[in-house]
Amino acid sequence: MIGVSATLPQVLPELGRGYDIIHYAGHAEFDTEKPRDSYLVLRDEMHLKAKNITKQFEGKKKPIFAYINACKAGKRAAQEEKVEDIEYTNDVSGLASAFLEKGIYYIGSVWPIHDDASADAAIFFL
């Protein structure tokens, strides 16, 4: 879905339709108080929250892979920890958790990324 068709009422049910890959390019926000309320910004300025994404995969064929090309899409609640000190079981929060907890491979940026760099990365990756 691109442009005006990427609204919350259109996107949300599409997540559970059995796609192998989900790719999102846009803006995301990380909620430090409630990481499960972290969200993707859709065309209608509505927020697609992590907790709502997770619900769409219940009892349905899940994607294999999600590439969420947006700022802070891979951020965790305790970002200051060193990578070698992180135990990954039940330790991810935010948008990444919506996918990882369902067994979906996930790529998302931890830091802010500029549109040009993000577009180049998506072209080379996909």
Per-residue pLDDT tens digits of the chain, which is 126 residues long: 888 889 999 998 898 899 999 999 888 988 888 888 999 999 888 999 998 998 888 888 899 999 998 888 877 666 444 444 444 444 457 888 889 888 999 988 877 777 777 777 777 776
- Looking at residue 78, what is its pLDDT? 60
What is the domain range of residue 116? 3-125
Q: What is the dihedral of CA 35, 37, 41, 46, to 10 degrees?
A: -170
- Looking at residue 39, what is its pLDDT? 92
Alpha helices in 1-114 (DSSP H): 8-14, 50-55, 95-100
- Looking at residue 88, what is its pLDDT? 42
Q: If residue 117 lies in a helix (H) or strand (E), which one and from where to where?
A: helix 115-125
Q: pTM value?
A: 0.78
- Looking at residue 122, what is its pLDDT? 73
The domain total for the chain is: 1
Give the whole-angstrom CA distance, residue 57 versus residue 104: 10
